[in-house]
Amino acid sequence: MYRYLSIALLAVVAMSRCEQPSGPTGMSEISTFGSNPGDLKCWQYVPQGNLRKVPLVVVLHGCLQDAQEMARLSGWNTLAEQEKFIVLYPQQSAANNLNRCFNWYQPGDAARNNGEAESIRQMIAQALAQHSIDERRIFVTGVSAGGAMSMVMAAAYPELFSAAAPIAGIPFGAADNLTAGLAAMAGNVTHSPEVWAEKARSQNPSFSGTYPRVAIFHGVDDNIVKIANAAEIAKQWTHLHGLSAAAGIVTESFNNNPNVQRTLWTRAGKDVVVRYDLSGLGHAIPVDPGTAPHQGGETATFAKDLNFHAAWWSAVFFGIAM
């Protein structure tokens, strides 16, 4: 059984082999950030110019990836240069997880003030001390294990983030060990909206503010993290915002793209939760290579040209691109 789980973790959780960067990225390492209880590394991208009160986007890589590869495939750095915001890239190590997955399913790393989640919070605190960042515009995104960890961060530190955007993610509280994590990835962990919301609220019971808005990106053909997880994330975060998961407005062929179905939940005219179901996409980052403002990213084994640039649409949802 344990041999099977090890193989499954490698084949099921892993985003890709670690491909070498194709050229300089302009990224620098933040070597010191608090006590770093999760023993992570951190890289940053700072665009050129006189930056004052700019947004901050935290981008979390998938398994067997690193910060450099995530930056290259996703296109976040080019977008940051274009729209003028700072990007942080937390980076996992094989010492923490053999496949360099963020430990989204381990309570010691996936809870407020603990382990890897606390290390990421400390990275943000260091960035706030180092740069002129608008504290009202801090966002988190990630893919696969990084997408699941983005949900950990949004749930554990709701006062810190304005919005989150998981790609192939998993709702917060879906697992507390490897076996449960595999079940969640297979789409076999479901709860009522009330139960999902309570799992998030338990991280910060005294929090009385507005929870982060959430944009969900998921491949319809994802056989690694099943698309059932997109529905569970939507249930969790619509309930946290006092909305019904059944009340989303569906748009087929969103933006004239036949591969994209969008479901949108709004409050007082503002997009609060949005879900993108991406046909023809498996376990990969949706990208749209090109030079137009809305295009970006690179194709690779786990980054597919879908004429839909997830980083761009995340930034639009965040309110830092238009």
- 9 assigned to some structural domain: no
Extract the tokens encoding 312: 């761009």
- Print the domain residue range for 200: 25-318
Task: Say what the pLDDT of residue 9 is.
Answer: 42
Q: Is residue 154 part of a domain?
A: yes
- What pLDDT is recorded for position 301? 87
Q: How many domains does the chain have?
A: 1
- Which regions in the chain score pLDDT beneath 70? 1-25
Q: Determine, yes or no, domain membership for 2.
A: no
Cβ contact 233:277 at 8 Å: no
Query: Residue 31: inside a domain, yes or no?
Result: yes
Return the pLDDT at 26: 85
The pLDDT assigned to 51 comes to 86
- Residue 122 covered by a domain: yes
For residue 102, the one-letter residue type is F
Query: Contact, 289 vs 295, CB < 8 A?
Result: yes
Give 82-111 pLDDT, tens digit per residue: 999 999 999 999 999 999 999 999 999 999
Reported residue count of the chain is 322
- Tell me whether residue 4 is in a domain: no
**Do β-strands 27-29 and 41-45 pair in parallel, antiparallel, or remain unpaired?**
antiparallel
pTM: 0.92
Residue 153 lies in a domain: yes
Active site residues: 144
Task: For strands 163-167 and 303-305, give the pairing.
Answer: unpaired
What's the pLDDT tens digit per position in 120-174? 999 999 999 999 999 999 999 999 999 999 999 999 999 999 999 999 999 999 9
Cα gap 41→22, rounded to integer Å: 21
Query: Is residue 285 a part of any domain in this protein?
Result: yes
Q: How many CA atoms lie within 13 A of 140 on its CB side?
A: 26
Report pLDDT for 128: 97
* Residue 1 confidence (pLDDT): 29
CATH number at residue 279: 3.40.50.1820
H-only helix segments in the chain: 2-8, 67-74, 76-83, 115-130, 145-156, 178-185, 193-201, 228-240, 310-318
